[in-house]
């Protein structure tokens, strides 16, 4: 066991745990963001640099600080390690820089993107980014590609986290897509348009942190926050498939099926393509009840959880705006 | 004239053949090491020599070797990094073309010291003709019993393979090199684990530059103490410098570390001064990734001492007023050179060569290049100059491998030392692209 201090909070974790997972055990808003790391998939992490933290003391044996910021998702803890995340301004500054870097070539087409509302990049930018850009040049763009009958790749939105590559490596029998090219011309590709039609390929949609890989049976059907997530299961014939899913309802229709995710957006159990794409009738499933969605997510607004209300924010409204609302009610159209 | 340890016989006709090389004292170090020394004694000699890695970072080679993990029953590997592709650096190519047996000799001796039975030379894909030279030389060494099973009857076996890269600069980074050698995409790995613990095929591996491995030959022949006598302080031995740019005599020079920079540029023994009788403007002392320095700072340190060709003296003053010896790619620029264009050119290289794995480097190198392109072509704004510094700072230190820094340092240094020239490009957009325009504008003012 190793005892570490993370942002002033002491926690004991088994040896070999990464700093990020130690922080997740503490939970709350001190957890570093992760755009590329994905616990269930081996080999992920270390690429997006969003989770960089300062190690102020390496270990009890060698208390020297580490010279550079380290990626918390792949750095393992040492006994006596002292880590600074939200308590260190330089870490927050670097994180702001990482948001900027990730966004300069991102199309920012959230209003038409199916991922909006459950997008890691959106959350990350909202929490750590700035509202303006210093980037004046043209953004790189790609054509949309259909890879297989169910998945569409919109490379323009991709942040090259490599999650889908590792997922396909580890879940499907034969990976047919990968990263082609290099630098900012690197792209996820299926080389001469091989199609992905393996049993578990649909999981790449769930692991994608942005809207680069989308479910073609769901595209443009609805915004996620207008749908109701319901836990369900079925007896799937595929031995590797858990059959435990979340159905996303709008009215009586099941608009899409996804795997169940934990609070950090990581899939708990993988599901097969048949469950994901072909079983869209309530009759196919045994319903368990409303799926729990973290109350900070926009998806939970108006549904099963309390609406997203932060009392602090309302109390801090400047007096003028409160008064204005009382004395001058907003104009109504057509008056 | 300084001593030449590596290139003494470089111009002997036929030195690339086994017989001629052997006649000039070749393969002595192999005989000495295999017959009279234990592997640990060889490592000890290299440690004593104070040899520092010649690939750029300057990490002590002996120390790197002693970090090699030696678990029972796991093979170890030595990999020679011949993926030399930094703009301005071309010393290894020359060494391998003309003295292939020197590298092979160094590989045998070093592999013996590290207990490696399979070693690799990872050579840059563009140098296909050098690959052929090396392969021919290796075949000769096999035929003469210096490679293969039971070398010289000592019971030590070694197989040496040459492997060409696909032409990516990033594969010169040691972990990307190992990935590429394993047949994967050349993306740098996250460290730790370091190659000394988990390198090629997850086995303990040492990756050394061509010149470092070649330098093991004179170290074993003459002893580490003898080698350490050359040079100043912690910069021992000789170093190959590939001098290029606006010099009267560009080329590859083997210098004893400690030669003053001024002597190196102006003396007839070395570069013979700046071409066309012009004045020196700036120098990039160690390959395109190290900070550029203006004439005043490259000849003298900020404290007014003579700048010497050593690791310490060149980095005197940190990055504020210093630079690095790096890989020895010495680029001199005369007074008419446009620093903005030059920085853009470097930046374009790093943009092209970034592997695209981690976000600061993937997006940042492109951003730097685009802003510099704008400045050079007269579409820049004053705030772009600060933007460059800020973006460079966002990349530096936050990437997986040092390519991010290599892209950020030259830009930051160019703005630091030549800010007025960037500003001039903004205020004179119509003149900006004309070669030498800044120089003539400045001359007109005086």
CATH (domain of B282):
3.10.20.600
- Comparison of pLDDT for A173 and B407, the residue scoring more: B407
Do A272 and A177 share a domain, yes or no? no
Among A77, A81, A47, A44, CA closest to A62: A81
Do B65 and B136 share a domain, yes or no? yes
A210 to chain B: which residues are within 8 Å by CB? Answer: none
Whether B146 maps to a domain, the answer reads yes
Among B190, B360, B371, beta carbon nearest to A98:
B360
Say how far apart CA A199 and CA B156 lie, in whole Å: 51
pLDDT for B205 equals: 96
- State both tokens at B53: 């890695």
Whether A318 maps to a domain, the answer reads no
Chain A CB within 8 Å of residue B348 CB: no
**Best to test chain B binding among A48, A55, A97 (most B CBs inside 10 Å):** A97
Do the Cβ atoms of B267 and B253 come closer than 8 Å? no
Chain A CB within 8 Å of residue B358 CB: yes
A52 to chain B: which residues are within 8 Å by CB? Answer: 398
Do B76 and B117 share a domain, yes or no? yes
Do B422 and B374 share a domain, yes or no? yes
A68 to chain B: which residues are within 8 Å by CB? Answer: 397-398
Chain A CB within 8 Å of residue B166 CB: no
Q: At what angle do helices B128-143 and B91-98 cross, to 10 degrees?
A: 40
CATH for B439: 1.20.1440.230
Banded model confidence at residue A27, pLDDT cuts 50, 70, 90? confident
Q: Which of A97, A117, A135 is a domain's end point?
A: A97
- Strand pairing category for B77-82 and B205-209: parallel
User: What region does B403 belong to: left with phi over 0, alpha with psi -120 to 50, or beta?
Assistant: alpha
Interface of A with B in 84-103 (CB under 8 A): 94, 97-98, 100-102
Q: Tell me what the mean pLDDT of segment A105-120 comes to.
A: 92
Q: Which domain holds residue A16?
A: 2-97
Q: Which of B229, B261, B280 is a domain's end point?
A: B229
Among B359, B365, B394, beta carbon nearest to A48:
B359
Do the Cβ atoms of B271 and B243 come closer than 8 Å? yes
* Nearest chain A Cα distance for residue B379, angstroms: 12
Query: Look-up: residue for tokens 């001492």?
Result: B305
Query: Look-up: residue for tokens 């052997």?
Result: B22
A181 to chain B: which residues are within 8 Å by CB? Answer: 356
pLDDT for A295 equals: 61
Q: Which of A170, A190, A215 is a domain's end point?
A: A215
Domain count, chain B: 3
- Does B362 contact A49 at a Cβ distance shorter than 8 Å? no
Query: Look-up: residue for tokens 């870097």?
Result: A101
Listed in sequence order, the residues at least 6 apart from B123 whose beta carbon sits closer than 8 Å to its beta carbon are B82, B83, B96, B130, B131, B134, B162, B163, B164, B165
Do A118 and A198 share a domain, yes or no? yes
Banded model confidence at residue A157, pLDDT cuts 50, 70, 90? very high
- State both tokens at B245: 């740019």
Say how far apart CA B98 and CA B377 lie, in whole Å: 42
**Best to test chain A binding among B363, B364, B408 (most A CBs inside 10 Å):** B363
Q: Where are the alpha helices (DSSP H) in A59-162?
A: 89-104, 120-128
Do B145 and B84 share a domain, yes or no? yes
What are the angstrom distances between the C-alpha of B291 and each of B192, B282, B331, B425? 27, 11, 11, 21
Chain A CB within 8 Å of residue B352 CB: yes
* Nearest chain A Cα distance for residue B55, angstroms: 22
pLDDT for A301 equals: 61
Among B214, B206, B273, B217, CA closest to B240: B214
pLDDT for A326 equals: 55
Do A174 and A261 share a domain, yes or no? no
Whether A284 maps to a domain, the answer reads yes
Whether A310 maps to a domain, the answer reads no
Do the Cβ atoms of B355 and B402 come closer than 8 Å? no
Do B92 and B56 share a domain, yes or no? yes
> Collapsing DSSP states into helix, strand and coil, what is residue A260?
coil
Tens of pLDDT along chain B (446 residues)?
Answer: 578 999 999 999 999 999 999 999 999 999 999 999 999 999 999 999 999 999 888 999 999 999 999 999 999 999 999 999 999 999 999 999 999 999 999 999 999 999 999 999 999 999 999 999 999 999 999 999 999 999 999 999 999 999 999 889 999 999 999 999 999 999 999 988 999 999 999 999 999 999 999 999 999 999 999 999 999 999 999 999 999 999 999 999 999 999 999 999 999 999 999 999 999 999 999 999 999 999 999 999 999 999 999 999 999 988 899 999 999 999 999 999 999 999 999 999 999 999 999 999 999 999 999 999 999 999 999 999 999 999 999 999 999 999 999 999 999 999 999 999 999 999 999 988 888 888 888 888 76
Do A206 and A278 share a domain, yes or no? no
Peptide bond into B192 cis (omega under 30): yes
Q: Tell me what the mean pLDDT of segment A193-220 comes to.
A: 88
Do A83 and A42 share a domain, yes or no? yes
Do A71 and A143 share a domain, yes or no? no
Whether A19 maps to a domain, the answer reads yes
Residue A242 half-sphere exposure, CB side, CA atoms within 13 Å?
14
- State both tokens at A214: 């989308």
Chain B CB within 8 Å of residue A16 CB: no
Whether A316 maps to a domain, the answer reads no
Do B36 and B175 share a domain, yes or no? yes
Banded model confidence at residue A333, pLDDT cuts 50, 70, 90? very low
- Does B398 contact A102 at a Cβ distance shorter than 8 Å? no
Chain B CB within 8 Å of residue A66 CB: no
Q: Where are the alpha helices (DSSP H) in B377-402?
A: 382-395
Do A112 and A87 share a domain, yes or no? no
Banded model confidence at residue A309, pLDDT cuts 50, 70, 90? very low
- State both tokens at B355: 């592997």
Do B249 and B326 share a domain, yes or no? yes
Chain A CB within 8 Å of residue B118 CB: no
B353 to chain A: which residues are within 8 Å by CB? Answer: 182-183
B367 to chain A: which residues are within 8 Å by CB? Answer: 101, 104, 135, 137
Banded model confidence at residue A307, pLDDT cuts 50, 70, 90? very low
pLDDT for A297 equals: 73
Whether B6 maps to a domain, the answer reads no
Domain count, chain A: 3
Q: Tell me what the mean pLDDT of segment A205-224 comes to.
A: 93
Among A50, A94, A104, beta carbon nearest to B363:
A104
Whether A315 maps to a domain, the answer reads no
Do A124 and A194 share a domain, yes or no? yes
Do the Cβ atoms of B191 and B173 come closer than 8 Å? no
Do the Cβ atoms of B106 and B21 come closer than 8 Å? no
Do B321 and B389 share a domain, yes or no? no
Among B185, B351, B390, beta carbon nearest to A183:
B351
A182 to chain B: which residues are within 8 Å by CB? Answer: 168, 170, 353-356
Do A144 and A170 share a domain, yes or no? yes
B304-338 pLDDT per residue, tens: 999 999 999 999 988 899 999 999 999 999 999 99
- Does B190 contact A71 at a Cβ distance shorter than 8 Å? yes
CATH for A80: 3.10.20.740
What are the angstrom distances between the C-alpha of B184 and each of A173, B79, B172? 18, 16, 14
**Is residue A306's pLDDT more than 70?**
no
CATH for A129: 3.30.70.20
Do B289 and B369 share a domain, yes or no? no
B57-104 pLDDT per residue, tens: 899 999 999 999 999 999 999 999 999 999 999 999 999 999 999 999
Q: What are phi and psi of B45, to 5 degrees?
A: -65, -40
Q: Which domain holds residue B392?
A: 339-445
Q: Which of B229, B249, B267 is a domain's end point?
A: B229
Do the Cβ atoms of B259 and B313 come closer than 8 Å? no
Whether A112 maps to a domain, the answer reads yes
Query: Look-up: residue for tokens 């900027």?
Result: A100
pTM for the full predicted model: 0.91
Do B85 and B217 share a domain, yes or no? yes
Among A287, A182, A103, CA closest to B173: A182
Whether A306 maps to a domain, the answer reads no
pLDDT for A310 equals: 42
pLDDT for B93 equals: 95
> Collapsing DSSP states into helix, strand and coil, what is residue B199?
coil
Do A189 and A167 share a domain, yes or no? yes
Which DSSP state fits A149? T
Do B73 and B201 share a domain, yes or no? yes
> How buried is residue B82: exposed, middle or buried, by Cβ count under 10 Å (0-12/13-18/19+)?
buried
pLDDT for B61 equals: 96
Do B86 and B210 share a domain, yes or no? yes
Listed in sequence order, the residues at least 6 apart from A132 whose beta carbon sits closer than 8 Å to its beta carbon are none
What are the angstrom distances between the C-alpha of A133 and each of B6, B22, B359, B408? 53, 64, 17, 20
Q: Which of A182, A215, A248 is a domain's end point?
A: A215
Among B127, B329, B110, CA closest to B212: B110
Do the Cβ atoms of A95 and A52 come closer than 8 Å? yes
**Is residue A57's pLDDT more than 70?**
yes
Q: Which of B208, B229, B250 is a domain's end point?
A: B229
Whether B142 maps to a domain, the answer reads yes
């Amino acid at each position: 066991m190793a005892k570490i201090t993370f942002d002033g909070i002491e926690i004991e974790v088994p040896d070999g745990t990464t700093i990020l997972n130690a922080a997740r055990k503490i939970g709350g808003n001190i957890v570093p963001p992760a755009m590329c790391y994905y616990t269930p998939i081996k080999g992920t992490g270390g690429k997006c640099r969003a989770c960089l933290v300062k190690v102020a003391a390496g270990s009890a044996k060698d208390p020297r600080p580490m010279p550079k910021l380290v990626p918390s998702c792949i750095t393992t803890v040492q006994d006596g390690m002292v880590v600074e995340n939200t308590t260190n301004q330089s870490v927050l500054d670097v994180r702001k820089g990482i948001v900027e870097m990730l966004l300069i070539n991102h199309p920012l087409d959230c209003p038409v993107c199916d991922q909006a509302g459950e997008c890691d990049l959106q959350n990350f930018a909202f929490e750590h980014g700035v509202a303006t850009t210093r980037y004046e040049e043209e953004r790189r763009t790609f054509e949309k590609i259909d890879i297989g009958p169910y998945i569409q790749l919109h490379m323009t939105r991709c942040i090259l986290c490599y999650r889908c590559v590792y997922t396909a490596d580890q879940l499907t029998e034969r990976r047919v897509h990968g990263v082609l090219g290099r630098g900012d011309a690197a792209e996820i590709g299926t080389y001469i348009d091989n199609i992905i039609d393996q049993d578990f390929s649909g999981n790449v949609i769930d692991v994608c942190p942005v809207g680069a890989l989308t479910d073609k049976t769901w595209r443009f059907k609805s915004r996620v926050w207008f749908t109701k997530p319901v836990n369900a299961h079925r007896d799937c014939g595929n031995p590797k498939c858990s059959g435990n899913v979340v159905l996303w309802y709008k009215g009586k229709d099941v608009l899409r099926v996804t795997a169940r995710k934990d609070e950090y957006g990581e899939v708990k159990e993988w599901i097969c393509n048949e469950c994901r794409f072909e079983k869209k009738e309530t009759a196919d499933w045994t319903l368990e009840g409303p799926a729990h969605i973290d109350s900070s997510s926009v998806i939970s607004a108006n549904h099963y959880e309390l609406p997203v209300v932060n009392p602090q924010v309302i109390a801090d409204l400047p007096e003028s705006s409160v008064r204005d609302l009382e004395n001058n009610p907003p104009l109504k159209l057509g008056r | 004239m300084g001593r030449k340890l590596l290139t003494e016989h470089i111009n002997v006709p036929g030195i690339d053949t086994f017989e001629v090389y052997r006649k000039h004292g070749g393969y002595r170090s192999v005989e000495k090491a295999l017959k009279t020394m234990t592997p640990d004694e060889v490592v000890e000699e290299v440690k004593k020599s104070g040899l520092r890695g010649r690939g750029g970072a300057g990490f002590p080679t002996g120390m790197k070797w002693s970090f090699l993990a030696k678990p029972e029953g796991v093979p170890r590997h030595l990999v020679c990094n011949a993926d030399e592709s930094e703009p301005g650096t071309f010393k290894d190519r020359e060494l391998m073309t003309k003295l292939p047996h020197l590298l092979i000799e160094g590989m045998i001796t070093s592999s013996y010291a590290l207990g490696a039975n399979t070693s690799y030379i990872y050579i840059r894909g563009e140098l296909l003709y050098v690959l052929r030279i090396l392969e021919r030389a290796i075949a000769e060494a096999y035929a003469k019993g210096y490679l293969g099973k039971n070398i010289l009857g000592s019971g030590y076996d070694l197989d040496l393979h040459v492997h060409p890269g696909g032409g990516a600069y990033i594969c010169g980074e040691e972990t990307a090199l190992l990935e590429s050698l394993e047949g994967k995409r050349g993306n740098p790995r996250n460290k730790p684990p370091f190659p000394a613990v988990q390198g090629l095929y997850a086995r303990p591996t040492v990756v050394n530059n061509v010149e470092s491995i070649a330098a093991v030959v004179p170290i074993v022949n003459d002893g580490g103490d003898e080698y350490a006598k050359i040079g100043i302080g912690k910069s021992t031995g000789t170093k190959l410098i590939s001098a290029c740019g606006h010099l009267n005599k560009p080329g590859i020079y083997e210098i004893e570390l400690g030669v003053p920079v001024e002597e190196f540029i102006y003396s007839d023994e070395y570069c013979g001064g700046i071409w066309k009788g012009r004045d020196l403007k700036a120098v990039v002392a160690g390959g395109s990734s190290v900070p550029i320095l203006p004439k005043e700072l490259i000849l003298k340190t900020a404290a007014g001492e003579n700048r010497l060709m050593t690791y310490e003296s060149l980095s005197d003053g940190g990055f504020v007023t210093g630079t690095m010896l790096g890989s020895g790619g010495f680029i001199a620029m005369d007074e008419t050179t446009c620093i903005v264009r030059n920085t853009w050119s470097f930046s374009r290289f790093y943009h092209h060569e970034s592997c695209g794995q981690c976000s600061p480097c993937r997006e940042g190198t492109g951003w730097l290049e685009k802003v510099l392109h704008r400045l050079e072509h007269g579409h820049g704004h004053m705030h772009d100059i600060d933007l460059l510094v800020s973006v460079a700072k966002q990349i530096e230190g936050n990437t997986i491998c040092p390519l991010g820094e290599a892209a950020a340092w030259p830009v930051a240094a160019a703005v630091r030392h030549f800010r007025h020239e960037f500003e001039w490009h903004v205020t004179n957009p119509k003149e900006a692209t004309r070669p030498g325009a800044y120089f003539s504008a400045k001359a007109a003012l005086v």
